[in-house]
Chain A
Amino acid sequence: MKRHLLSAADLTRDDAELVLTTAAELRSLADRPIKKLPALRGRTVVNLFFEDSTRTRISFEAAAKRLSADVINFAAKGSSLSKGESLKDTALTLEAMGADAVVIRHSASGAPHRLAHSGWVRSSVVNAGDGTHEHPTQALLDAFTLWRHLGESKPSGLEGRRVAIVGDVLHSRVARSNALLLQTLGVDVTLVGPPTLLPVGVESWGVDTSYDLDAVLPKVDAVMMLRVQRERMQGGFFPTPREYSRRYGLDGRRMATLQDHTIVMHPGPMVRGMEITADVADSDRSVIVEQVTNGVAVRMAVLYLLLGGSENPE
């Protein structure tokens, strides 16, 4: 593993499989009476959140604490874009506090990259979602959930499986990281959405693309529905929310066209009635709640693999 986790592209196939198998071991520990492990005793993990995301922060916090790390939550209020240097100033503060890892969520694409490569801090940097760029630990937990659900003994069993990622790919960091990671794991990915919400040049990502959800659904082993953010609804990317739902929403009728084993995923938070109907979200196929549980194990695995050993072995 590299020293930082900034992009799903930082992970080789071996790295990704190691994270997943490590997460599998750690997840089984969740059933023990004492959930804490001593691996990161004396290490400090800072959750640096420039953007509100209680669920992601809590997930990282639980992961770090279960590994016995000291956790500092640092919520930087307001937009950093209004005061240019605040990311740097904050970074220097964290460096002075002796952070071993900084878990950063930021509205600007590339902010974790800047943090890792500007010489401001020496700690490992974990991207917990940056702008419309990436969210690699979400992709890892999605891959983990897929692996567990598709009943393979090893992560390599995901080879050749088919996953559709549906919706606002253009603005989705989850879609980017998943497209990269799932391909690394040998999964066939199809991005589905209206042409206005698929990025320019997506043809060269190595994935399939489709504008036709109905044609894709019967072929896949998993459907990952992306959230449609409210501001996009006014952005002219599609005529009306109603038309969007009709063409790209997952409802009971469409769910009926899935193969029996196919699962439905969503990174949350859902806009019920928009990209997914309540009956689908609450159905047996939905693994949305489990994705949250798996998030802790996967983030433990990432923190352990980044911080558990030494950077400079003798």
Chain B
Amino acid sequence: MPAAPSAQMGRTVLDARDIARALTRISHEILERNKGAGDLVLLGIPRRGVPLAHRIAARISSVEEYDVPVGSLDITMYRDDLRMKPARTLMHTEIPGDGIDGKVVVLVDDVLYSGRTIRAALDALNDVGRPRAVQLAVLVDRGHRELPIRADFVGKNLPTSVAERVSVRLSELDDDGDADSVSIVVPAPEDNGGTA
């Protein structure tokens, strides 16, 4: 998790209003692409994908007057780098009551980078059920893909260098209140970089 001071020292590329606009646009694109909200299930990938999924769901329901099911999908145990660090704390998985079989699942995450997180999420999803289709919505696509994965809905394409780190702060999770932001941070040499 990025420490607050270093995030503040970074270069802000999206502020709260930019983020709100991006999410609104993504919400409309999801509805357009799927011709309504009927079969949709939004699954946020912890941590920051979860509040983003809830925000998108709220926007969809305000348009459609229909509560789209929202849940969370923890991918920790499916990570391909599980063995490279001490055991990681599990995040919460919550599959909406009606399940995902035959539904269109939209995975929601904050930053798309190597694609490995999404690969793990697809594996995790496979153990939960069999959706009709899986789509991917991300707030930021920073490039540098290492797997053949692309997002269906992108808030902002953000060219970065590998040395940089993208820091996303959301009011639901990060202490400093209402300060939604996306910034680019060049870490100090001893910081081994973020994979967000």
Distance (Å) between the CB of B93 and the closest chain A CB? 7
Known: A25-B74, A28-B93, A38-B78. A33 touches B129 (CB 8 A): yes
Say if the beta carbon of B62 comes within 8 Å of chain A.
no
B-chain residues with CB within 8 Å of residue A22 when the two chains form the complex: 89-90
Known: A25-B74, A38-B78. A305 touches B87 (CB 8 A): yes
In the complex, the answer to whether A18 meets B127 with C-beta atoms within 8 Å is no
Known: A25-B92, A28-B93, A37-B77. A308 touches B82 (CB 8 A): yes
Known: A22-B90, A26-B90. A310 touches B84 (CB 8 A): yes
Distance (Å) between the CB of A91 and the closest chain B CB? 24
With the chains together, A8 CA to B84 CA distance in Å?
A: 27
Contact with A along B61-105 (1 / 0, CB 8 A): 000000000000010111000111111111111110000000000
User: Secondary structure at chain B's binding surface: helix, strand, loop or mixed?
Assistant: loop
Say if the beta carbon of B123 comes within 8 Å of chain A.
yes
In the complex, the answer to whether B128 meets A32 with C-beta atoms within 8 Å is yes
Say if the beta carbon of A29 comes within 8 Å of chain B.
yes
Distance (Å) between the CB of B195 and the closest chain A CB? 14
The interface on chain A, measured as residues whose beta carbon lies within 8 A of the other chain's beta carbons, has a size of 26
In the complex, the answer to whether A308 meets B88 with C-beta atoms within 8 Å is yes
Known: A38-B78, A38-B123. A313 touches B89 (CB 8 A): no
In the complex, the answer to whether A309 meets B87 with C-beta atoms within 8 Å is yes
Known: A28-B93, A38-B77, A38-B78. A309 touches B123 (CB 8 A): no
With the chains together, A313 CA to B82 CA distance in Å?
A: 11
B-chain residues with CB within 8 Å of residue A29 when the two chains form the complex: 93
Leading 6 A-B pairs by shortest Cβ distance: A309-B87, A308-B87, A39-B77, A309-B86, A34-B127, A25-B90
Known pairs A32-B128, A34-B128, A36-B127; list 5 more (Cβ under 8 Å): A32-B95, A37-B77, A39-B82, A311-B86, A313-B86
Q: Can you pick out 29 interface pairs between chain A and chain B where the beta carbons lie within 8 Å of each other? A: A18-B89, A21-B89, A25-B92, A26-B90, A28-B93, A28-B94, A29-B93, A32-B127, A32-B128, A33-B128, A33-B129, A36-B127, A37-B77, A37-B127, A38-B77, A38-B123, A39-B76, A39-B77, A39-B82, A67-B77, A304-B77, A305-B87, A307-B87, A308-B88, A309-B82, A309-B85, A309-B86, A311-B86, A313-B84
Residues of chain A whose beta carbon lies under 8 Å from any beta carbon of chain B: 1, 18, 21-22, 25-26, 28-29, 32-34, 36-39, 67, 304-311, 313-314
